[in-house]
Copies of this chain bind each other. A is one copy, B any other.
């Protein structure tokens, strides 16, 4: 590089965030229903359905329960049938998530300049971003960028790409209001994954982890008309690929959609790359306060790819489940929604419930966002959280006002409120108490062991 990899005064802010989960919540029993209804007993099926009970996930958000017609045909649905559900049940979620983000951003729809979108569960031309723009009523020309091939890292990849595009507008002294949208409808792939488990007798755990979600953020370059207050300032990012790990993590196209590729090496590979990526991220972001040096000095919005990804990060970085409280909470209550998860985690992190679980009772000003995707790639970013903004669907919490009851007043929280937290997130906001993740520690060990013993021959 001709110049050091540092970030100056970028003036990039996330001024709105929205997540929209579909209406159904799948307990472990739902996958079991499909596995026992359509497939003979076998060693691999038994093993996967066993792991399914101990993923650490209470419920996976989904466009339908186990009785949904799409997963009850004689065969697994085709990629064309998956596309139909993606359009009918997925795109409205993306429009709703985008509406929430835009409302909070206090940006008129006519001011949106770009849409940077991603999905790994659809492949169509025009892409789904076209229909999101149409659903939002965007009439002006917007520069659309639909990212492909990035799997679970897609959410942060949209943010990084949007950041670069926003700076391109900054160079031209033009206003940028970029809508980032991630949409995944993964649960419809259950039959296809169960097919492969049955036919190949492989311990494939994708169907136990993946869920459906749409999420969105609005990124502003600070030029032009006023917006809502920053929710997070974006200070810098890192994007790298771990050499020679293509076969370890992927999502291969198939007539029945995409097939999950996930080897037992993934948790250790991802854990290993965290420390160097974090160091480089820190080097590139100037001017952090002196008390932000170690990983444990920050809060972490980690993509919860699986329980072992989170526990691996804890060991590698010397952080606790409380540092990743929103990652655990999202994972437990909604599962892994691939690219759409990370903005949901960033949204959840700013809630009072999560603040109550902060390590040592201290909510951090700076947050590290992190996700892994096929390649294997790591996407990492440095965020400065605005502690005055809690995600009230556009209404901000004035710092001087008691906001105890604020979140429960908004409809936005219903899909959270409707989730039975069953003690996995304690009611008592004592920082010392066992956090969300601890209840699943035994499960993590189980999963770690199961993954360590994976037999992919």
Contacts and interface: CB of A to CB of B under 8 A. Distances in A.
Interface of A: 1-3, 7-8, 10, 78-80, 83, 111, 113, 120, 122-131, 133-134, 139-141, 143-151, 157, 160-161, 163-175, 223-225, 238-241, 243, 246, 250-256, 258, 373-375, 377
A302 to B, nearest CB: 20
A253 B79 contact: yes
A150 B146 contact: yes
A175 to B, nearest CB: 4
Nearest to A161: B145
A363 B107 CA distance: 46
A151 B168 contact: no
Given A149-B146, A168-B171, A125 B2 contact: no
B250 A126 contact: yes
Contact of A174 (B2, B111, B165): B2
A144 B375 CA distance: 11
A173 to B, nearest CB: 7
Contacts of A8: 172
A151 B126 CA distance: 8
A258 to B, nearest CB: 7
Nearest 4 pairs of A and B residues by beta carbon = A127-B149, A255-B255, A148-B148, A167-B168
B79 A255 contact: yes
Given A2-B223, A175-B2, A223-B2, A125 B145 contact: no
A373 B126 CA distance: 8
Contacts of A173: 3
Contact of A1 (B10, B133, B174, B377): B174
B3 A174 contact: yes
B149 A126 contact: yes
Given A80-B252, A125-B374, A130-B246, 14 more contacts: A2-B223, A3-B224, A78-B255, A80-B255, A124-B250, A125-B150, A125-B250, A126-B375, A130-B241, A141-B238, A146-B149, A148-B148, A163-B168, A164-B164
B254 A80 contact: yes
B1 A253 contact: no
B143 A146 contact: no
20 contacts: A1-B174, A2-B174, A2-B223, A78-B254, A79-B253, A79-B254, A83-B253, A124-B253, A125-B149, A125-B373, A126-B246, A126-B375, A127-B149, A130-B241, A130-B374, A143-B160, A146-B148, A164-B165, A164-B169, A165-B165
Nearest to A252: B124
B161 A171 contact: no
Contacts of A111: 2
A78 to B, nearest CB: 5
Nearest to A166: B168
A409 to B, nearest CB: 33
Choose among A129, A149, A250 the residue with the greatest number of B CB atoms under 10 Å from its CB. A149
Nearest to A138: B241
A359 B164 CA distance: 40
Nearest to A261: B125
Contacts of A251: 124-125
B83 A1 contact: no
Given A147-B145, A167-B168, A80 B253 contact: yes
A374 B172 contact: no
Contacts of A160: 143
Contacts of A172: 3, 7-8, 10, 167
Nearest to A114: B164
A141 B3 contact: no
B125 A258 contact: yes
A175 B5 CA distance: 11
Contacts of A167: 167-169, 171-172
A124 B145 CA distance: 17
Nearest to A338: B125
Nearest to A131: B246
Contact of A164 (B83, B127, B143, B224): B143
Nearest to A128: B149
Given A252-B80, A253-B83, A125 B143 contact: no
B250 A3 contact: no
A175 B126 contact: no
A175 B123 contact: no
